[in-house]
């Protein structure tokens, strides 16, 4: 999960439309949460990519599909190399209006894996077809999430489940206006969480109808922003999904529900617990970077030190590059501590950040400015300037430079970039959040909120059971939606147990669903 850019504006001019880092997408290095004996080995689950690179939109020629809401168009995915096939659904542009534009449709991508699905009428017995396990897509290319959500593939055989991964509108290939989707507020105005949830509901209902699986129960899964959407989907569409696994979902990171400094306090504490020296080096690096980057010669020297692919224009860009890396993994403290005490602070910082960006060592240079957007993250800039307003500050005790948050400043920045002003309290108005324990206890059910306390986003998550069916699974060493990753032989016992509990709870939901259906039919 990426961190919002809480840095003060005096740090230098950011690249165009980069007010915030994309919020929730980046999957952490597995070593961030695992015991020390596993930290030294690369993991097939690790993804040491930067959280944010300046935008370069993916080019996709939009073709208008037929108006049939049940049309399924086979996609180009190669089943021999990928564990899923791509399909496209003719999705409505606007679910909440009846204006002429509302009925416009776009190609909405989703992925299927039916390898283990218990199909209708195929010896299903009294239980009918197997369940649909649906991933509610995040802010990026859905194939990335499907590839990094191995837990669903791991448990599909147990349940005889059909796996469905639905892309979030305006990301990946699901761009309603093709190449022009990010053109202006006129097009981006259709990029909202409520529209996305409605998309998911329409795809699920259409898919069940097409497959003759109307009786199949549906469980939604999601990690990070996708986890937020999964929990909100269960609350908004309880007739569509019988339950939700929301992993690392900071649904309480809005308004004044969670202390604004909690995210960076948690990151700093993680580093300090690993090494006080490491904490001190990072804390000192920011002032040194600003001082050296104040002149053209200094920027040239910094570009060489950080092996930039081309000379950087702003010290802010290097700060942003370092900031992203240091947000994600305290594993890099071992690299910092290996330097002699008198070594240059920025050399230490660069070596540590390289572990994050260039884990395999095969990159000749670093795209610190003018990089690409390989996973289609750029739409988050819009969301972070409209409804996804998560206030964050940095205290004097943090290893990051102190900074404040102002709703007015955020509003002005967003208006300058997009011509719109945020609705900072809309999320809590639409989905709730205040006194969530008392509110959801009265009407909510069947949600698992899983969090690992090594994940700084956990502070904005649900960390205590709300009721007998709204369960908080909290692990001391867990990282950002680690439970959704594929299982490995090296998984620690606490992670194995966490997943076992999730499977047990989901099985209970499905058993209760079939029991209710049997009672109704009799």
Beta strands in 75-167 (DSSP E): 85-92, 105-113, 132-136, 162-166
Residues 38 and 54: their CA atoms lie apart, in Å, by: 33
Give the containing element (helix H, strand E) for 354.
helix 345-357
Q: 84 near 77, Cβ under 8 Å?
A: yes
Which structure tokens are listed for 448? 């698992």
Q: 251 near 507, Cβ under 8 Å?
A: no
Residues 503 and 456: their CA atoms lie apart, in Å, by: 25
Give the containing element (helix H, strand E) for 283.
helix 276-292
Sign of CA dihedral 93, 94, 98, 99: negative
The string of DSSP codes covering 436-455 is HHHHHHHH--SEEEEEETTS
Residues serving a catalytic function are: 224, 455, 480
DSSP 428: H
Q: 187 near 219, Cβ under 8 Å?
A: no
Q: What angle do CA 231, 406, 254 make, to 5 degrees?
A: 10
Residues 6+ apart with CB under 8 A from 280: none
Of 332, 361, 364, 365, whose CA–CA distance to 349 is shortest?
A: 332
């Amino acid at each position: 999960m990426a961190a919002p850019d809480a840095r003060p504006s005096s740090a230098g001019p950011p690249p165009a439309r980069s007010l915030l880092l994309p919020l929730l997408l980046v999957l952490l290095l597995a070593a961030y949460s695992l015991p020390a004996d596993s930290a030294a080995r690369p993991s097939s689950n690790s993804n040491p990519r930067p959280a944010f690179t300046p935008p370069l939109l993916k080019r996709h020629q939009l073709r208008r599909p037929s108006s049939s809401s049940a049309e399924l168009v086979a996609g180009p995915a190669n089943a021999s190399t990928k564990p899923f096939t791509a399909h496209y659904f003719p999705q409505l542009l606007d679910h909440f209006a009846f204006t002429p534009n509302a009925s416009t449709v776009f190609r909405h991508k989703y992925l299927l894996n039916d390898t283990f699905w218990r199909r209708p009428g195929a010896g299903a017995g009294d239980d009918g077809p197997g369940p649909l396990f649906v991933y509610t897509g995040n802010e990026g290319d859905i194939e990335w999430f499907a590839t990094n959500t191995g837990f669903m593939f791991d448990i599909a055989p147990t349940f005889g489940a059909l796996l469905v991964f639905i892309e979030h509108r305006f990301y990946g290939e699901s761009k309603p206006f093709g190449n022009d989707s990010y053109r202006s507020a006129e097009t981006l105005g259709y990029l909202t969480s409520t529209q996305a949830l409605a998309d998911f509901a329409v795809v699920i209902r259409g898919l069940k109808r097409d497959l003759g699986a109307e009786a199949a129960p549906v469980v939604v899964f999601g990690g990070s922003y996708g986890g937020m959407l999964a929990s909100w989907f269960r609350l908004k569409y309880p007739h569509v999904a019988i339950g939700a696994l929301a992993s690392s979902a900071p649904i309480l990171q809005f308004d004044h529900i969670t202390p604004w400094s909690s995210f960076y306090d948690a990151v700093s504490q993680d580093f300090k617990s690993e090494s006080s020296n490491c904490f001190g080096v990072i804390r000192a690096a920011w002032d040194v970077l600003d001082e050296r980057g104040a002149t053209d010669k200094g920027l040239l020297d910094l570009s060489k030190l950080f092996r930039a692919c081309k000379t950087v224009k702003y010290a802010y860009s290097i700060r942003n590059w370092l900031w992203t890396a240091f947000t994600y993994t305290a594993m890099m403290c071992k690299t910092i501590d290996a330097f002699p005490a008198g070594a240059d602070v920025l050399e230490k910082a660069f070596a540590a950040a390289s572990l994050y960006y260039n884990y395999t060592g095969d990159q000749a240079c670093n795209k610190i400015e003018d990089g690409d957007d390989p996973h289609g993250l750029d739409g988050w800039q819009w969301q972070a300037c409209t409804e996804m307003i998560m206030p964050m500050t940095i205290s004097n005790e943090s290893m990051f430079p102190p900074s404040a948050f102002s709703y007015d400043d955020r509003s002005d920045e967003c208006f300058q970039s997009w011509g719109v002003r945020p609705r900072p309290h809309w999320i809590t108005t639409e989905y709730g959040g205040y006194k969530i324990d008392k509110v959801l206890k009265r009407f909510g059910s069947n949600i698992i909120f899983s969090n690992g306390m090594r994940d700084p986003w956990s502070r904005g998550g649900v960390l205590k059971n709300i009721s007998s069916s709204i369960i908080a699974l909290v692990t001391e060493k867990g990282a950002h939606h680690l439970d959704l990753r594929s299982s490995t032989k090296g998984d620690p016992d606490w992670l194995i147990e966490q997943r076992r509990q999730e499977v047990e709870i989901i099985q209970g939901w499905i058993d209760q669903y079939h029991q209710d259906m049997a009672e109704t039919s009799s």
